[in-house]
Amino acid sequence: MKRGGLPLARLAYNDQGVPYSAEYDDVYHSADGAIAQAQRVFLAGNDLPDAWRGRDAFTIVETGFGLGLNFLCTWQAWRDDERRPRRLHFVSVEHRPFSRQDLERLHATWPALAPLAAELRRLWPPAIAGYHRLHFEDSRLSLTLLFGAAQDMLAGLLGRADALYLDGFAPAKNPELWAPALLRRLTELAQPGATLATWSVASEPRQALAAAGWRLAKRPGFGQKREMLVGRLPGVVPAASGERSVIIVGAGIAGTSLAGRLAERGWTVDLIDRQLGPALEGSGNPAAIFLPLPAKDDNLVARISRACFLYAGQGLDQLGSSTAAPGLRWKPSGVVQIARNDAHEALQRATVAGLGLPSSFIDFLEREQLGALLGRSAARGGWHFPGGGWIAPASLCRALLHGSGVRERYATTVASIEPSHRGWIARDPAGRVLGEAAQLILANAQDALRFLPDLPLQSVRGQISCLPGRAFAGIEPAVCCKSYLISGASSADGVAYLGATFDIDDTDTRLRTASHEENLAGLEAMLPGSARGIAAAGLPGKVGFRSMSPDRLPLAGQLPAPVAAIASDLKLAAMERQPGLHCLLGLGARGTVWAPLLAELLAAQLEGEPLPLERELVAALDPARFLFRRLRRG
């Protein structure tokens, strides 16, 4: 499904000074008190905080984020409760989000919630359709915003809810949010024993909920509203079970991102790598460019890339401002992607116009505009990503591990893995047990083929060239076309990085003059005259190897069982899997963009939490997808 930018909600007030939507001809909250309404109807209506006490994790799904009031009141209640669950997940749908500036005006009327509201606004995402996961309270509280039509967004949600906040505009004003099909979908998402609350007692939604299995009751309403509705599903919430221990093989950007996300959730994590420290193989490049992959048709790759880019940028901001993660080297300098030729320039221009994405995310700049931005002539116009930049991957890997409690083991080769009664065992070349855990994750790029030779992975050699930084010191943004340039001023070490070649199935580890020449030709093609006087022979540089899948998307999730056949009507999600065996592989040249969100995805799968990507995108990343297609073809 094609998605892009969303129209913003228009800030307005009714005669009583209550925030009002002209589009739906309804108010966002009662005139009798916003905070009191949220506490009475939605928290007390779901028996909170009592219902979450004694739970390790608790999930709330809301229809209609609006001003964020219910979220902020729930956050405050969670904060104030000494018996709160260790993790709280709040999932909310919004078709017309407010701008950050309008939220600031709206939140100013609730001084009691000011610190929380300010933190929400700081992480507030752009108005782009899709899932946006935000983390608060050292990741113990997660907000997943589903920007788009509720029917579409909730159809793709994978997870279970413990409580529902049904808080759309009135059924007569916004019938789509109260449609029987949507209420059935919400019921599918609810756990046995889940609860719901809503201020609406309209007969049609009440009948649809009762038909879906809810046991409903009316309670006294709030303010001038005489009644409200609460409900409970039959059954008991399943108890959490299972040992939370994992072995992660590989300490590059994939492995360290996974280790960080699981350690935050209280897992015992053993991180094992054959090198002397983290990020000494594919993630060891001195600097990497950081940008998404837009497409005119907003295809699966573009959507996944956009979600990953936005999530990774949020994480880098939070890490960069934390004294608990020293040494992180990254700069949101912006990225310019210059068009390859005239046809590509036209395509870039049409893509920006067609998708309607906010200019804070992407814009098209004509050649003259790019020249002014870069301080030198560009070959053509191109995309500008203001939130992009560059990062030193190894510094990110070290920051993710700093103070995490992860057990790091380096200069240690995992020679074999095998299932055990507990889960999985990793052994060294002499057959000695290196570790045993309930789960094992392969995050070791091409080296994973030693354990699973049928994995659809391909090695790609990449050589970067190191140029004198002073020659490019005036170029602030990272620049790319067929090659990329991270200037000396941006990399902060007097060196400009130019790269990288793309040599499929090439295992040569030596620096090659021909590869330097290829990089310099790429520089000249995007910034004419910039390569003049630079001799390829004798340039310093670095050779690294990327691991990629045939469709250029990573492999993220539980690995398939080595089955010989499948039923013709079998779905991908129903394929038999290898219990406890997972992977995060095939990140290619964009590991710093892919890894953070895909690590969060895998961690959420292991924990049984709501997933941060919709069903269609999770399927596109499933490591079983290639086997599934092959078996379906027969």
Question: What is the structure's pLDDT at 31?
Answer: 64
- The span from the CA of 623 to the CA of 555, in Å, is 5
Exposure string (b/e) for 103-137, b if CB count within 10 Å is 16 or more?
beebbeebeebeebbeebbebbbbbbbbbbbbbbe
Question: What is the structure's pLDDT at 225?
Answer: 79
Q: CA-CA distances (angstroms) from residue 237 to 82, 123, 193, 468, 601?
A: 22, 32, 5, 62, 23
Residue 2 has pLDDT above 60, yes or no: no
CATH topology for 242-330+391-457+578-634 is FAD/NAD(P)-binding domain (3.50.50)
Q: CA-CA distances (angstroms) from residue 572 to 81, 160, 206, 605?
A: 41, 20, 35, 16
Question: What is the structure's pLDDT at 488?
Answer: 61
pLDDT in tens, 110-134: 999 999 999 999 999 999 999 999 9
The conformational region for residue 235 under phi > 0 = left, psi -120 to 50 = alpha, else beta, is: left
Dihedrals phi, psi of 605, to nearest 5 degrees = -60, -45
Q: Determine the average pLDDT of the residues in 360-378.
A: 96
Q: Are the folds of 20-232 and 242-330+391-457+578-634 the same? A: no
Q: Determine the average pLDDT of the residues in 320-347.
A: 88
Interacting residues of 567 by C-beta distance below 8 A, sequence separation 6+: none
- The highest-level CATH class for domain 20-232 is alpha beta
* pTM for this prediction: 0.96
pLDDT category of residue 240 using cuts at 50, 70 and 90: confident
pLDDT category of residue 261 using cuts at 50, 70 and 90: very high
- The span from the CA of 616 to the CA of 153, in Å, is 11
Q: With H, G, I as helix, E, B as strand and everything else as coil, classify residue 222.
A: coil
- The span from the CA of 561 to the CA of 574, in Å, is 11
Residues of the chain with pLDDT > 70, as a percent, come to: 97
Q: Are strands 20-21 and 439-442 parallel, antiparallel or unpaired?
A: unpaired
- The span from the CA of 515 to the CA of 508, in Å, is 11
SS (H, E, C) 551-597: CCCCEEEEEECCCCCCCCCCCHHHCCEEEEEEEEECCCCCHHHHHHH
Q: Determine the average pLDDT of the residues in 80-101.
A: 96
- The span from the CA of 196 to the CA of 597, in Å, is 30
Question: What is the structure's pLDDT at 272?
Answer: 98
pLDDT in tens, 452-496: 999 999 999 999 999 988 888 889 999 999 999 998 644 556 889
Of 236 and 384, the one with more pLDDT:
384
Q: Please tell us whether the domain made up of 462-548 is placed in CATH 3.30.460.10.
A: no
Question: What is the structure's pLDDT at 264?
Answer: 95
Residue 190 has pLDDT above 80, yes or no: yes
Question: What is the structure's pLDDT at 430?
Answer: 97
Percent of the chain that is helix, strand, coil (3-state, to 5): 35, 25, 40
Residue 40 has pLDDT above 60, yes or no: yes
pLDDT in tens, 544-589: 999 999 999 999 999 999 875 566 667 898 889 999 999 999 999 9
| Nearest by Cα to 139 from 619, 633, 629, 612 | 612
* Greatest Cα pair distance in the chain: 82
Q: Which of 14-18, 333-337, 341-345 has the lowest mean pLDDT?
A: 14-18
Residue 30: CA atoms inside 13 Å, Cβ hemisphere, count? 21
The conformational region for residue 505 under phi > 0 = left, psi -120 to 50 = alpha, else beta, is: left
Contact 623, 559 (CB under 8 A): yes
How does the average pLDDT of the chain come out, rounded?
Answer: 93
Residue 29 has pLDDT above 70, yes or no: yes
pLDDT in tens, 485-532: 998 644 556 889 998 999 998 899 999 999 999 999 999 999 999 999
Q: Determine the average pLDDT of the residues in 353-361.
A: 95
pLDDT category of residue 353 using cuts at 50, 70 and 90: very high
Question: What is the structure's pLDDT at 447?
Answer: 96
For the chain, domain boundaries: 20-232, 242-330+391-457+578-634, 335-386, 462-548
Q: Degrees (nearest 5) of the Cα angle 558, 564, 569?
A: 75
Q: Residue with structure tokens 């420290």?
A: 277
pLDDT in tens, 419-442: 999 999 999 999 999 999 999 999
pLDDT category of residue 167 using cuts at 50, 70 and 90: confident
Burial classification of residue 433, based on how many CB atoms lie within 10 Å of its CB (0-12 exposed, 13-18 middle, 19 or more buried): exposed
Residue 187 has pLDDT above 80, yes or no: yes
Per-residue tokens: 419? 């299932």
Residue 38 has pLDDT above 90, yes or no: yes
pLDDT category of residue 631 using cuts at 50, 70 and 90: confident
Q: Determine the average pLDDT of the residues in 164-187.
A: 91
Contact 596, 308 (CB under 8 A): yes
Q: CA-CA distances (angstroms) from residue 111 to 107, 108, 114, 424?
A: 8, 6, 5, 52
Question: What is the structure's pLDDT at 578?
Answer: 95
Q: CA-CA distances (angstroms) from residue 416 to 277, 427, 543?
A: 21, 5, 28
- The span from the CA of 414 to the CA of 426, in Å, is 6
Question: What is the structure's pLDDT at 493?
Answer: 62
Residues of the chain with pLDDT > 90, as a percent, come to: 80
Q: CA-CA distances (angstroms) from residue 624 to 108, 360, 530, 554, 630?
A: 49, 36, 45, 12, 10
Exposure string (b/e) for 597-616, b if CB count within 10 Å is 16 or more?
bbbbbbbbbbbebbbbbbee
- The span from the CA of 596 to the CA of 316, in Å, is 10
- The span from the CA of 151 to the CA of 463, in Å, is 47
Residue 313 has pLDDT above 60, yes or no: yes
